[in-house]
């Protein structure tokens, strides 16, 4: 019986897919399937039940987040299958969802930051054995997203309503008219929003713009 770690690779770039296959095979891992889209990934995982699936974020047909959505589904439906996201891109919202909870067997590495093949193979093995591996840059994005979500959560329903209108480019006077409140009340809401988002007065930055970016950030 083959005791090697069994791997499924999901990578739409044929050269990268072949390179990963050869690299892992030379290092003693068993690549049971190497596929180019999310549908084929799920079929391969269901068929082979590998120890770990290495998944790119952006795959056909839209090349947006098909791989990430497949990673979420696999981790939810088959928690014993390790999931290592290996991509050029950080999908913060989906990554936050993926790493929420206590289950291990997860990883997220960035292609252009992996400098050592041995370390990459070790990361694959760690995820396959239930460990967690995260690129420091991914960690920074997740922490920033968590802080943003926490600060937005402190806003009252009225403050969120005001911030949504600020994000549309409305002036305080226009917001007051739309919400049937006085401009002074709007100013108090805006000041409270800036305080909760920790946007201190600064001559170098427009707090309305920064608040809008925080609100609109995916």
Backbone angles phi, psi at 217, to 5 degrees: -60, 130
Strand 30-35 to 106-110 pairing: unpaired
* Most trustworthy range by pLDDT among 51-55, 73-77, 114-118, 212-216: 51-55
Task: Output the pTM of the full model.
Answer: 0.70
> What would the pLDDT profile of 102-126 be if each residue is shown by its tens digit?
667 999 999 988 888 999 999 999 9
> What would the pLDDT profile of 148-183 be if each residue is shown by its tens digit?
777 788 889 999 899 888 888 788 999 999 999 999
Q: Is the pLDDT of residue 88 over 80?
A: yes
**pLDDT reported for residue 92:** 79
Q: Is the pLDDT of residue 1 over 50?
A: no
**pLDDT reported for residue 103:** 65
C-beta separation of 183 from 173 below 8 A: yes
Gap between the Cα atoms of 139 and 156, Å rounded = 29
* List of domains in the chain: 6-136 (3.40.50.2300), 154-216 (1.10.10.10)
Q: Is the pLDDT of residue 205 over 60?
A: no
- Cβ neighbors of 154 (< 8 A, separation 6 or more) are 196
Q: Is the pLDDT of residue 141 over 80?
A: no
């Amino acid at each position: 019986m083959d005791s090697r770690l069994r791997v499924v690779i999901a990578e739409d770039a044929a050269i990268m897919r072949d390179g990963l296959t050869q690299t892992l095979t030379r290092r003693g891992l068993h690549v049971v399937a190497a596929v180019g889209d999310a549908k084929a990934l799920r079929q391969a995982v269901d068929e082979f039940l590998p120890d770990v699936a290495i998944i790119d974020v952006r795959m056909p047909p839209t090349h947006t987040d098909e791989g990430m959505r497949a990673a979420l589904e696999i981790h939810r439906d088959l928690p014993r299958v390790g999931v290592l996201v290996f991509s050029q891109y950080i999908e913060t919202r989906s990554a936050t969802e993926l790493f929420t909870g206590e289950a291990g067997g997860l990883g997220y590495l960035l292609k252009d930051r992996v400098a050592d093949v041995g370390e990459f193979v070790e990361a694959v093995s760690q995820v396959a054995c239930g460990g967690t591996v995260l690129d420091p840059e991914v960690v920074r994005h997740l922490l920033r997203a968590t802080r943003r979500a926490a600060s937005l959560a402190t806003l009252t329903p009225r403050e969120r309503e005001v911030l949504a209108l600020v994000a549309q480019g409305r002036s305080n006077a226009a917001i007051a008219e739309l919400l049937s409140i006085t401009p002074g009340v709007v100013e108090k809401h805006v000041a409270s929003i800036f305080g909760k988002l920790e946007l201190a007065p600064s001559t170098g930055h427009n707090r309305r713009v920064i608040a809008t970016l925080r609100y609109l950030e995916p």
